[in-house]
Amino acid sequence: LKAGGVAGVCVDLILFPLDTVKTRLQSPQGFRKAGGFRGIYAGVPSTAIGSFPNAAAFFITYENVKSMLHHGSTSYLTPATHMVAASLGEVVACLIRVPSEVVKQRAQVSPSSSTLRILSHTLYHEGIQGLYRGYKSTVLREV
């Protein structure tokens, strides 16, 4: 739990500026209008809040599923055991990751808005479904 959470936070915070640049380059409004290099850490609160539970949920699910499937399985099924455990881990982790990513990406292309404002705006105008926009495609990519 702790190791997975800390590892996830470290990776997410170190790579955050690169993700911001990528998101702004992909923005329909263009790189400069989306913020350019200004506010390169816009949206980092949602990543910081979601990163630890996201990584922890993945590793807890992965280890538990792996241990349940491993009992009595033969060595040639070991890769399949790891694949199934990792896939289920990603399905669970995406329940946390996707809302965090939605808020983060919206903050990255609108650096003048706070994370809390973006979250409340999304919930008010789109409901909880707005936070899970892209869940299925994210799960498919991760699995």
**Whole-number Å distance between alpha carbons of 77 and 143:** 18
pLDDT, residue 73, reads 62
Q: Could you tell me the pTM of the whole model? A: 0.80
pLDDT, residue 48, reads 83
pLDDT, residue 11, reads 87
pLDDT, residue 1, reads 74
pLDDT along the chain (143 residues), means of 10: 80 90 92 91 87 90 90 74 94 95 91 89 96 95 91
